[in-house]
A = this chain, B = another copy of it.
C-alpha cells in the first residue's frame, strides 16, 4: 500500500510543467490565469495539471472572487522527498527466498 501511494505522489510530480508550477508556488500563491501565460499550453491543460497536484495533496486551492488561487503544500513535498530515502523495508522477502534456497550463490 505504502509503495502504491508514494508511486502515485511521484507520478503527480513526474512532469516538467507540474514541477515548474510547484517552483512558482514556492515563490507566491498563483491563480490559473497567472500561470497560463508562463507556459506554452492552454488554460485547460494548466487547469488539469493543478487538478492532478490537488488530488495528490501537493497543492491547496482557495477561491477569491472569480479567481482560484493555488498554494503549495510544502509539508507534503518534503515528506515525499524524505519517503524516497526511507522506503519501507522489504528485506523479509529476501529472507523468505533464502529459506526456499532461491538466493543465488556465486563465488
Contact assessment for A14 and B23 in the assembled complex, using a CB-CB cutoff below 8 Å: no
Q: How large is the interface on A (under 10, 10 to 19, 20 to 34, 35 or more residues)?
A: 35 or more
Contact assessment for A20 and B37 in the assembled complex, using a CB-CB cutoff below 8 Å: no
Contact assessment for B28 and A3 in the assembled complex, using a CB-CB cutoff below 8 Å: no
Query: How far does the Cβ of A57 sit from chain B's closest Cβ, in whole Å?
Result: 15
Contact assessment for B80 and A38 in the assembled complex, using a CB-CB cutoff below 8 Å: no
Contact assessment for B81 and A84 in the assembled complex, using a CB-CB cutoff below 8 Å: yes
A6 in complex: contacting residue of B19, B28, B38, CB < 8 Å: B19
The interface bits of chain A over 1-43 (1 if a CB of B lies within 8 angstroms of the residue's CB, else 0) are 0011011101101111001101110111011011001100000
Contact assessment for A91 and B27 in the assembled complex, using a CB-CB cutoff below 8 Å: yes
Interface of A toward B, CB cutoff 8 Å? 3-4, 6-8, 10-11, 13-16, 19-20, 22-24, 26-28, 30-31, 33-34, 37-38, 64-65, 67, 77-78, 80-82, 84-85, 87-91, 93-94, 97, 102-104, 106-107
